[in-house]
């Protein structure tokens, strides 16, 4: 029985808020001024407090990863945020459905090259697929739930991948990696690999006893301003090389005399302007 929590009107339109928190020195900042309104609990002294942010992520992961909402989990996430290789956090709110993920710039493959890694991908809260049993089981793990819910009709996960893709391209990257925990049940592994492959175009690259590493390539875009959620970049089309124009020669005229013969101007080759 859902005595304390109930789902409200299912016909409410989705109200979508998305935020990219990116590293600036030891702090995380966000260019979207409505962050404080949507997630006021993570703000302290007009800035983003990492410990409060870790607590918010732990709240989400308690539901989606079926973990306990514990101090140990909050400390793990706090250490992750303190790590300089953690460069961005995605936060999405669609009604009372939430999405979160971490973007890391590290050499997880131990190849001597840092890559962009997306992990801690999480969808929590209430959606049109959430069952009463799922809510009851979450409450046994002390996962915080509001008393009333406005469910979403779409998932926040595609917004996370799109947001990170634009950020990676803006910072000069052309690909991203993610990994699937290889220690979970086989049916769960196959479902995740299939989802990331078909929906987000990730391909399996490496498999070990702990993780399955997957990678996707991004198209090359022109260098234009592309803030999150505003405007779109256009794909570059390959430049066709123009054939060099050969200098046109003037028609020869009969020679009058050496004295009256005008000097012929040298013709310069036309050079293509760099675009």
* Domain assignments of the chain as residue spans, ordered by start: 6-174
**In the predicted structure, residue 215 carries a pLDDT above the cut 70:** yes
- What's the pLDDT at 222? 52
Express each pLDDT in 241-252 by its tens digit. Answer: 444 444 555 555
114: pLDDT confidence band, cut at 50, 70 and 90? very high
More confident residue, 132 or 196: 196
Across the range 11-27, mean pLDDT stands at 90
More confident residue, 221 or 87: 87
25 C-beta neighbours (distance < 10 Å), count: 7
Rounded distance, CA 54 to CA 76, Å? 8
More confident residue, 256 or 191: 191
Per DSSP, what are the bridge partners of residue 117? 104, 177
More confident residue, 270 or 43: 43
**In the predicted structure, residue 177 carries a pLDDT above the cut 60:** yes
More confident residue, 232 or 41: 41
More confident residue, 228 or 79: 79
SS3 for 28? strand
Across the range 259-271, mean pLDDT stands at 47
**In 231-253, which positions are buried (b, 16+ CB within 10 angstroms) versus exposed (e)?**
eebeeeeeeeeeeeeeeeeeeee
**In the predicted structure, residue 28 carries a pLDDT above the cut 80:** yes
Rounded distance, CA 89 to CA 22, Å? 6
Across the range 167-181, mean pLDDT stands at 94
Q: What are the DSSP calls for 106-165, one per residue?
A: E-TT-SSS-EEEEEEEEEEE-BTT--HHHHHHHHHTT----SEE--BSS-SHHHHHHHHH
Express each pLDDT in 122-164 by its tens digit. Answer: 988 766 666 777 667 666 666 776 667 787 888 899 999 999 9
More confident residue, 188 or 131: 188
Please give the model's pTM, rounded to 2 decimal places.
0.74
**In the predicted structure, residue 65 carries a pLDDT above the cut 90:** no
For tokens 């052309």, what's the residue?
A: 174
Rounded distance, CA 116 to CA 168, Å? 8
| Cα dihedral across residues 121, 122, 128, 131: positive or negative | positive
11: pLDDT confidence band, cut at 50, 70 and 90? low
- What's the pLDDT at 97? 87
């Amino acid at each position: 029985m859902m005595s304390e929590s109930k789902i409200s009107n299912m016909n409410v339109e989705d109200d979508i808020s998305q935020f990219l928190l990116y590293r600036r020195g030891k702090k995380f900042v966000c260019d979207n001024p409505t962050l404080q309104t949507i997630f006021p609990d993570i703000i302290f002294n007009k800035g983003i407090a990492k410990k409060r942010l870790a607590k918010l992520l732990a709240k989400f992961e308690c539901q989606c990863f079926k973990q306990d909402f514990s101090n140990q989990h909050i400390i793990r996430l706090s250490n992750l945020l303190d790590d300089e290789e953690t460069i961005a956090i995605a936060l999405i709110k669609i009604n009372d459905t939430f999405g979160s993920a971490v973007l890391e710039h590290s050499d997880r493959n131990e190849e001597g090259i840092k890559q962009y890694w997306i992990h801690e991908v999480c969808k929590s809260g209430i959606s049109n697929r959430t069952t009463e049993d799922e809510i009851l089981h979450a409450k046994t793990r002390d996962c915080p739930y509001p008393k009333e819910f406005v469910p979403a009709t779409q998932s926040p996960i595609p917004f996370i991948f799109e947001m990170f893709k634009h950020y990676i391209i803006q910072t000069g990257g052309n690909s991203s990696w993610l990994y699937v925990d290889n220690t979970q049940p086989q049916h769960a592994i196959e479902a995740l690999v299939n989802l990331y492959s078909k929906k987000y175009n990730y391909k399996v690259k490496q498999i070990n006893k702990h993780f399955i590493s997957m990678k996707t390539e991004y198209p090359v875009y022109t260098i234009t301003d592309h803030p999150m959620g505003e405007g779109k970049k256009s794909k570059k089309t390959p430049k066709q090389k123009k054939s060099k124009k050969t200098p046109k020669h003037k028609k020869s005229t009969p020679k009058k005399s050496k004295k009256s013969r005008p000097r012929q101007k040298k013709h310069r080759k036309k050079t293509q302007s760099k675009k």
